Structure 1
Amino acid sequence: MFCKNEIEEYLQKDTNRKPVIMTSIDEVTFVIKPTEDTVGDYPDNWHQIASTLSEIIANKLSLPILFGNYIPLKTPPAGYTDGFTFQDLPYYFAIAWHQTNFTMGIILKFSASALSQYKSSYQDLNGKSIDVHNMAQLLDEDYYELRLSRIDFAVDYFNYKLTVNDLYQGLKTKQYIITNNKGRKNISKISAQEVNGYAQTVYIGSKKKNINALLRIYNKYQEQLDNQGRYMHLTKFCDSWIRMEASYKGTYSNQILALLLTLESSEDLSKLIVNKILDKYCFYKSTNGEALDVTSDLMKSMGDFPALESLSSRNNDLMATILYLMKGSGFYPLLWKIETIWGTEARNYFIIRLVQEYDANYVPNPDVGIWLSKFGDKLSNLNFKDLLEDAFQIFYQKNNINPKNSAKNNKNDVAD
């Protein structure tokens, strides 16, 4: 198992062109969420606070030293209004914020090329490597909340005989199956981009915006040749090059952030990448249950980390109640009727009055006590805001809703 800064030397020396695997992080998007310590009693000054805090964030990663002067951002990430990039960074990178909506935080978005350039420039300047776990540790502070909006884990297979089309056809004909790390079948949608009936890229999962996980499998060798990519020179040293790229967002990416903050080395990071690929995507032959080489070889370097969990899976009863409240209970239609007849102020008063009535007179029955004794301790370890926003995401997906307001932006941090 190799990291990106080691693979070129190995491939050059390996004249027999044996199968070998490389792990890396392709792209990453952080979000800095303001807290009371960040904005205090002056949220109206958010634009000034955001501008100052963004420069502090940039300096934490040595960005001005590496890439020169700040320049205005011509194309902020979706939903953001203001920001900057750097004069000497030729690839898409953004530090951005919304001029008035401080709840969206400050986004720090590295495209794949920008992240690669940053790591290379940092090593040239400092004589030591840096990767995303180091970046997360540099950014982590008590006076704001660090979030991970998106992270793409990549596993590159050099000189493997299996082709993208072989894998797709095997999945299509059910010769191969996909399971998670517990052996549970992955029932995600499988699709492909085909040219003359030959699969060039395979997707495991939905490409819709609100989905927390998506696996893309493609011919990296051909992609580098077609686009004259940054790593096209590696094609001279291998016969084939297939990439698996797992993109994690939302609930999953923030669980990954917690793990990144504990890592001590690039070797630990490589083990985490392998673990999180296998967490969701293990490939087996359906006839005898034998793992494909792309899975069995990964398992040799799998680290020991907690499995990724959807918050909804941790308590379906609570999630179902929240979803029922939004659709089926009549609560939303009731709010609409009140607002239409008496206005927004009346609607808000109604909600406040309900809370007051709950505080004053609600007495839980014994069933509630039984439920709390069963689930309360486990749920108390979760972030309630994450749990609630996860409910909204499920609600949007089940009802085919494309959220139009900032509530959606607060969850997914909009940049992706």
Structure 2
Amino acid sequence: MREINMISIDQIRFYIPYVANTFRIEDVDELRLANKIFALSDYFEIKAESKGQNGYSKSYNFGSNEKKYVSVMWNPDRKDMGISIDFTAVGKAVYEALVADYTGLKVDWQNLIKQVYLEYQGHVSRIDIATDLIDYNFSADSIAKRIMNQELIFLNKQGNRIPSVRLKFISNAEKVETIYVGARTSDCFLRIYDKKIEQDRPDGRYRSMSKGCHDWVRLEGEFKGKTAHKIGELVAKLNKQDIYSDLLGIVLERWSLVEYKKD
């Protein structure tokens, strides 16, 4: 089978401050602002109001309360927290599909990120960068075994070996299905897992694609806080349409999986 690799933004969250060059704080309507950038109400039919999370007291959810695909969150008593616009992984995929169905166009994430940074003085507060490796003839389990046998090691951004205590292996029936590198609470976190196992389930969104391949491994870098802010700033400044090779470079710079050469 032909090897396939795909790079994508899996999940993304934006922060928009109330004070910006383009509007005054007293004029802000949170939902209208989100619609101005992303036109959410043009594509989603189901919308629901609810309590927010992570300190935000108000939320407007596109999807439903059970399935929050996209959330616009704010706290009227804490303007310093700004407005959070959160696309879950499924929500981003649904949004892209709806935009394509209604307009025949692909969502230009670089342009949206650039708009948030340059027009609204906002930033990206979380971004998950995914690399899908299909029919490369390996699995999370085969990678884990080579790491445990000290045949492979992870190097950090400085080129130093990431210690084994920073790695976690999640097994099912004695086979490793997921590898974690780093702490989920940190600004940078890597997950390597068997996407085929996930998508082979009856509710798998890409089940037909999964059934057509032999193996499918996903590498997913999760970036939050200042790191996500800097990545968004980099994307906003890029003067080219293909941003995904640069996004892959960010992941590989942070975590390099290399063969261990013993002295």
Distance 1:133 1:186, change over 3 A: farther
Paired residues of 1:153 and 1:277 also in contact (CA < 8 A)? yes
The match for 1:28 among 2, 12, 34 is 12
Quote the offset at 1:184 in angstroms: 3.1
Counterpart position of 2:77: 100
2:249 matched to 1:275? yes
Counterpart position of 2:90: 113
Determine the C-alpha separation between the residues in 2 that align with 1:29 and 1:147: 9
2:101 aligns to what SS in structure 1?
helix
The match for 1:194 among 171, 190, 197 is 171
2:139 matched to 1:163? yes
Cα shift readout 1:344-379 (whole Å, capped 9, x = no counterpart): xxxxxxxxxxxxxxxxxxxxxxxxxxxxxxxxxxxx
1:186 aligns to what SS in structure 2?
coil
Q: How many equivalent residue pairs?
A: 261
Q: Spell out the pairing of 1:361-376 with structure 2 (5 A cutoff).
A: none
Quote the offset at 1:61 in angstroms: 1.3
Determine the C-alpha separation between the residues in 2 that align with 1:162 and 1:247: 22
Determine the C-alpha separation between the residues in 1 that align with 2:262 and 2:100: 47
Letter in 2 for 1:155: T
Between 132-141 and 144-153, report the one with greater CA deviation. Answer: 132-141
Distance 1:70 1:199, change over 3 A: closer
2:42 matched to 1:65? yes
Give aligned-pair identity as a percent: 23
Distance 1:263 1:119, change over 3 A: farther
Counterpart position of 1:228: 203
Quote the offset at 1:200 in angstroms: 1.0
Unaligned runs of 5+ residues in structure 2 are: none
Distance 1:163 1:179, change over 3 A: same
Paired residues of 1:21 and 1:156 also in contact (CA < 8 A)? yes
Cα shift readout 1:38-95 (whole Å, capped 9, x = no counterpart): 886xx7x6xxx55x143122222121111147531x3523211112123689643100
Cα shift readout 1:268-307 (whole Å, capped 9, x = no counterpart): 2211221111111111111379xxxxxxxxxxxxxxxxxx
Determine the C-alpha separation between the residues in 2 that align with 1:219 and 1:205: 18
Q: Spell out the pairing of 1:69-80 with structure 2 (5 A cutoff).
A: 70-72=47-49, 74-80=50-56
Paired residues of 2:47 and 2:64 also in contact (CA < 8 A)? no
Counterpart position of 1:256: 231
Taking structure 2 as the reference length, the TM-score comes to: 0.89
Q: Which has the larger radius of gyration?
A: 1
Counterpart position of 1:172: 148
Q: Spell out the pairing of 1:194-213 with structure 2 (5 A cutoff).
A: 194-207=171-184, 209=185, 211-213=186-188
Determine the C-alpha separation between the residues in 2 that align with 1:121 and 1:179: 40
Quote the offset at 1:119 in angstroms: 1.3
Quote the offset at 1:231 in angstroms: 0.6
Determine the C-alpha separation between the residues in 2 that align with 1:180 and 1:161: 25
1:34 aligns to what SS in structure 2?
coil
Distance 1:161 1:75, change over 3 A: farther
Paired residues of 1:91 and 1:113 also in contact (CA < 8 A)? no
- More strand by percentage: 2
Determine the C-alpha separation between the residues in 1 that align with 2:46 and 2:116: 21
Over the aligned positions, Cα root-mean-square deviation in angstroms equals 2.6
Distance 1:59 1:71, change over 3 A: farther
1:171 aligns to what SS in structure 2?
helix
